[in-house]
Amino acid sequence: MNIKIGSRESRLAVIQSQLVMDAIAAAHPDVTLELVTMKTTGDKILDRTLEQIGGKGLFVRELDQALRDGRADFTVHSLKDMPMETPEDLPLAAFSDRADPRDCLVLPAGVTQWDRSKPVGCASKRRQLQLKALYPELIVQPVRGNVQTRLKKLDSGQFGALVLAAAGLKRLGLEGRIARYFEPTELLPAAGQGILAVQTRRGMDTAVLDAVRDEAGTCCALAERAFVRALGGGCTSPVAAYATVDGDTLTLTGLYVSSDETVVKKETRTGPKAQAEALGAALAREMGGLEP
């Protein structure tokens, strides 16, 4: 049996795809795995913010097409980078266990003191809004590109610091660049942050993905995405959600921001993990004043 795994061609994306391939290979040594990489539209356009060029969908368009035309059987994504709505013919078939969900501060190479007179590079409104609440005096500017590209911009003096996902830095072996972690109580992570998602085309046999699936990761993913989806949020919205599982109980914290950013609310709810999706949608309705 031969399985083709589709991935963005960035170093981090390849490492993440390899994690999925390693899990499948360990459980199914008879399966032949092939990695197929490609550059997405979102990887090519780096001179504008995501909201200016069309959102997170630009990071999956080419991978979606590869699934549809058979060039890939599964594709691997950072769940936080995926649109909240997925096509009916391309279901999400597996969610991994969660790596470190936190955001972190990265300083220029060799620097130990954060120079707050220089701008902080942030790629999302979610981070920008919460950072400004923590440090009102900060100048926050958007930064695009893969992790290595952003680090080069930082080290060249364009920024005083970056805020990045800890999971990505750790997977790249760059944990030593982390100057400080932001706990979820300070910066609520993006929905799905730290979790890998495997997408496929409808009708595919997904039994081999049992080696990838994680129950807690799945519950958290479903709750967080349901919360953001119910609020109509995506990459251009500061909305955020973070869930944890303890036994059979799921705890979900959501960040709601009104369209004009004048109303900011953060609330937490708990419930049975078996009702993760319903819990996420219910919390969103409560916070956003939406009809059931």
pLDDT over 70, % of the chain: 90
Please determine, for residue 46, whether its predicted confidence score (pLDDT) is greater than 90: no
Q: What's the pLDDT at 147?
A: 94
pLDDT band of residue 292 (cuts 50, 70, 90) is low
Over residues 58-75, the pLDDT tens digits come to: 668 889 999 999 999 999
Task: For residue 272, give the nearest of 233, 254, 246, 292 by alpha carbon.
Answer: 246
List the structure tokens of 289.
């004043």
Amino acid (1-letter code) at residue 155: D
Q: Are 266 and 254 in contact (CB under 8 A)?
A: yes
Give the helix/strand (H/E) hosting 254: strand 249-257
DSSP string over 65-106: HHHHTTS-SEEEEEGGGS-SS--TTS-EEEE-------EEEE
Q: Residue 105: which pLDDT band, with cuts at 50, 70 and 90?
A: very high
Least confident of 142-146, 234-238, 281-285: 234-238
Q: What is the pTM of this model?
A: 0.91
Is 80 exceeded by the pLDDT of residue 165?
yes
pLDDT of res. 127: 93
Would the pLDDT of 40 be above 80? Answer: no
pLDDT digits over 196-234, tens only? 999 999 999 999 999 999 999 999 999 999 999 999 865
Residue 45 confidence class, pLDDT cut points 50, 70, 90: very low
Q: Which two tokens mark 146? A: 């893969």
In angstroms, the CA 23 to CA 205 distance is: 17
pLDDT tier, 49 (very low <50, low <70, confident <90, very high otherwise): very low
Structure tokens at 4: 């083709």
Query: In terms of pLDDT, which residue wins out, 196 or 238?
Result: 196
- What secondary structure letter does DSSP report for 272? E
Helix (H) or strand (E) holding 24: helix 11-27
- Which of 64, 73, 81, 103 does the annotation list as catalytic? 81
Buried b / exposed e over 16-35, threshold 16 CB at 10 Å, is bbbbbbebbbeebeeeebee
Give the chain's length.
292
76-97 pLDDT per residue, tens: 999 998 999 999 999 999 999 9
The larger pLDDT score, comparing residue 54 to residue 292, is at 292
The share of the chain scoring above pLDDT 90, in percent, equals: 81
Q: What pLDDT score does 238 carry?
A: 84
100-135 residues labelled b (16+ CB within 10 A) or e (exposed)? bbbbbbbbbeeeeebeeebbbbbbbbbbbbbbeeee
Answer yes or no: is pLDDT of 54 > 50: no
Per-residue pLDDT of 111-146, as tens digits, reads 999 999 999 999 888 999 999 999 999 999 999 888
pLDDT of 43 > 80? The answer is no
Instruction: Look up 47 and say whether it is catalytic.
Output: no
- Is the per-residue pLDDT at 157 higher than 70? yes
